[in-house]
Structure 1
Amino acid sequence: MPFTASNAVHSTREPWAQRAWVPPAVAMALTAIAGLALGPDYCLLPFYAAGPALAAGRGTPRTVLGSAAAAMALITLAAAADGLLGHQRVWIALGGVVVVTAAACWVSVTRLRAERRLVDVSEVAETVQGILMPPPPPRTGPVALTGSYRSAARAARVGGDLFVAAEVPDGARILIADVQGKGLEAVEAAAVVLTAFRDATADVPTLDRLARHVEKSLAEHTSGDRFVTALFADIHHDGTLTLLSHGHPEPLLLRADGHCRHVPLPDPAPPLGLAALTGDTPTPQAGPSLTDGDRLLFYTDGLSEARDPSGAFYPLRAHAPALLADPCPVSALDSLRTDVLRHTRTAPDDDSALLLCEFGPDPAAGRAAA
């Protein structure tokens, strides 16, 4: 996820306790200690086969073979200490290590191949994500932008939620949308929506005409049975705000003085793809005027409909003022993501996209003028 606020840089070196050789080493050490404590009557020699068996869980075939060599050496030493060299017990234990090692090597090779395929899939998904929805520019017109995307798919980083921003002559134009469904068909529909927005936004003066263009593209380039909730917004240089909702959650407005509220959208249009069923002609609505330092959070229902184990929705309006007041917008979205996970106590089960817009003059432009 090239533009999420939640990607931290971690060291590629694992802590020693998580390294592949630790579980087999611990298992064989415990077996040796138990053997010394209990004596030869209990015949714990076969338990040394746990070493190569555990090595297959995280290690390479080389790790498995190394654990097997250690197990055989320990069996030989234990047998010598107990006066059992050449005894049938010893040969059975060594044979067990050989059989377990062969199986563990196969498991290790199979696991490594699956992991490589998973890495390939993740890299392809990340590339597709970057092409479909590249990071938003740091600034578009009168607003600074910070985006975050999180897919619910474990093996992919791309889904049907999207946002895009473009500069227009009188300010910034923004779209955030959520494609119904999941999988490749949702990704295809998201690509259609993004392409239609980018192709037309510079030439279409009003949000309702832009929405009709996007809806027409959906009808022409998708199966026709897929709908998309969407929120279009124009943020003008003078702070005026125009919104057009097609069944999408209301944005959250955090004033510079700390006051927080949802921006009401009393007359939303049906989701894109369903307008033909109603025949309604949606009308853009004027939102509250923005002043310097005000922040608008656009989001999809993966955030607003996140639930805890009891079924309670995430209290966005109650928690957002403190979280989004962080001077660093990246940290603000990081904190919001962490708070949602704390609320749900589990991994997300729906895609979610967040776009934080801060209204105000460009500090870089002010420094250049000075």
Structure 2
Amino acid sequence: MTVEEPTSGLAVLSWMPVAVMAVVAAADVVAGPGVGFLPLVSLGPAFSGLVGGWRRTALIGVVALLLCVGLGVYDGLFQERRGFTAMVSVAGVTGVGIAAAVMRSRREAELASVRSIAEVAQRVLLRPVPRTAGSLRVAVSYTSADAGAQIGGDLYEMVASPHGIRVIVGDVQGKGLAAVETAAVVLGAFREAAHDEPDLVGLGERLERSVARELGGKKFVTAVLAEIGEDREVVFLNYGHPAPMVVRRGGTVNFPEPPSYALPLGLGVHGSNAPTPYRVGFAPGEQMLLYTDGVTEARDTAGTFYPLGSRAELLKEPEAGRALQGLREDLVRHAAGPLHDDATMLLLRYRTHAEEISVSRA
């Protein structure tokens, strides 16, 4: 679908009242007064009230009344009640159309205000991550399963802390506003703790306490935490989340899994063991993708899951944002329609030598 299609559709609807009145007038002239087409002139202001503003509806109503008078005189209908009945019908429909247009305009203004507030809240909750962090290049793709929302139950954040670059990607149980509220709790706790806690285990424990206190064990959040330091390694903590994908320099794809999976955040009250941190090598020329299960569990029409590992070649694009956009478009094509779950991908790669020089000169 192109951008011009909605605009052209609105243009057709805006001209429909005029077209309807023209057709009714032509049919009345051709058929003569015996058929009784004249009251159908009121369709003009009726349609205008559905698609236009109240001023346009009033203008169309005046035109319809003038047309009704002209055709009534032409047909000789004012010698009997039919002409006056038609005029009353047009005037009545015009009044109703104006009232409908006013009510619709008010609802549209209220909806626009609510959407504006929601968009601001969404931007505060899921802030755009920086395109660069230290020696890393970063790109994020977020696709909400709800076409009317920019955020849902997935969450992500990256913080450049004194202890290294720390990242979280998570997936909240459930959907809707309750999931968004839970995501806000997790992100708020992560943003604060990422700066304060000296190690990733302490960060994870603090997140677990915050989420358990807020959610009371009634909801949970799968999440993977990552810390990228200067030693060309990534430390991971995995709370029941899909393993990250690492694309090596030669194109080999790995999904490094933890020694053992822990329960998701929020379920620590059940007494499970905390996740064990594990290290994965991550050097220049390699790429790391953190994602939610909305990516790997997207199905095509035959019910086949999205083969993320075999699509790693799409990340060969030099620019990180375009590379991730290509992967997202491929995911949507695979699903052959709207995704049934939120899908988040966060791509990390080292900046090239040329980019490092450019940044240092700036």
TM-score in terms of structure 1 length? 0.83
Which is worse superposed, 357-366 or 128-137?
Answer: 357-366
Q: What does the per-residue CA deviation read over 1:296-322, in whole Å, with 9 as the maximum and x for residues that have no partner?
A: 222223333334455443443444533
- Residue 229 of structure 1 deviates from its aligned partner by 0.6
Distance 1:178 1:80, change over 3 A: same
Q: Indicate whether 1:227 and 2:220 are aligned.
A: yes
Q: Contact between 2:154 and 2:342, CA under 8 Å: does it hold in 1?
A: yes
Deviation at 1:66, TM superposition (A): 1.8
Change (3 A) 1:306 1:45: farther
What displacement does 1:127 show? 1.4
Question: Which residue of 2 is the match for residue 366 of structure 1?
Answer: 357
> Partner amino acid for 1:182?
K
Match of 2:63 in 1: 70
> Which of 242, 263, 271 is the matching residue for 1:270?
263
Query: What's the counterpart of residue 157 of structure 1?
Result: 150
User: What is the deviation of 1:228?
Assistant: 0.4
Counterpart secondary structure, 2:57: helix
How far, CA to CA, are the matches of 1:241 and 1:169 in structure 2? 15
What SS class does the counterpart of residue 357 from structure 2 fall into? helix
Is residue 293 of structure 2 the alignment partner of residue 301 of structure 1?
Answer: yes
Q: Does 2:199 match 1:206?
A: yes
Q: Which residue matches 2:112?
A: 119
SS in 1 for 2:77: coil
Deviations 1:122-167 (A, max 9, x none): 2122211222221111211231112233434455434332111112
AA matched with 2:175: K
List per-residue Cα deviations over 1:153-191 (Å, max 9, x = no partner): 455434332111112456421101111123443233222
1:106 matched to which residue of 2?
A: 99
Contact 1:269–1:275 (CA<8 Å) still a contact in 2? no
Structure 1 residue 240: deviation in Å? 1.8
Post-superposition shift, 1:367? Answer: 2.8
2:305 to 301, 313, 318: 313
* CA-to-aligned-CA distance 1:221-257 (integer Å, 9 cap, x gap): 3343110010111223343222222111233334455
Residue of structure 2 aligned with 1:354, choices 335, 342, 345? 345
User: Does the alignment pair 1:23 with 2:16?
Assistant: yes
Q: Is there any run of 5+ residues in structure 2 with no aligned partner, and where?
A: none
Q: CA deviation at 1:283?
A: 0.7
Give aligned-pair identity as a percent: 35
Q: Cα distance, 1:219 vs. partner? A: 1.6
**Which AA in structure 2 matches 1:231?**
V
What residue number does 2:81 align with?
88
**8 A Cα contact 1:239 1:359, kept in partner:** no
Q: 1:183 to 1:369 in 2, by over 3 A?
A: closer
Q: Secondary structure at the match of 1:146?
A: strand
Across the aligned residues of Structure 1 and Structure 2, the Cα RMSD in angstroms comes to 3.1
Distance across 1 between alignment mates of 2:67 and 2:106: 31
SS at structure 2 position matched to 1:53: helix
Change (3 A) 1:44 1:117: same
Q: Distance in 1 between matches of 2:342 and 2:211?
A: 20
**Residue aligning to 2:236:** 243
The answer to whether the Cα contact below 8 Å between 2:173 and 2:179 also exists between their aligned partners in 1 is yes
1:217 is matched with: 210
SS in 1 for 2:224: strand
Q: Which protein has the bigger helix share?
A: 2
In the alignment, what sits opposite 1:3?
none
Code of the aligned partner of 1:303: V
Find the residue that maps to 1:42 and give its secondary structure.
coil
The one-letter code sitting in structure 2 at the alignment partner of 1:76 is V
Question: Aligned runs of 1:251-290 on 2, under 5 Å?
Answer: 251-255=244-248, 258-260=251-253, 262-265=255-258, 267-290=260-283
| Paired AA for residue 56 in structure 2 | T
Distance 1:359 1:236 in 2: 12
**Is the counterpart of residue 172 in structure 1 residue 165 in structure 2?**
yes
Indicate the larger mover: 218-227 or 248-257: 248-257
Under a length normalisation based on structure 2, what TM-score does the superposition of the two structures give? Answer: 0.85
Which of these residues, 186, 189, 192, is aligned with residue 182 of structure 2? Answer: 189
> Which string of whole-angstrom CA distances, capped at 9 and with x for unpartnered residues, describes residues 270-306 of structure 1?
11112332521311222343332x3322222333333
Superposition deviation, residue 347 in structure 1:
3.7
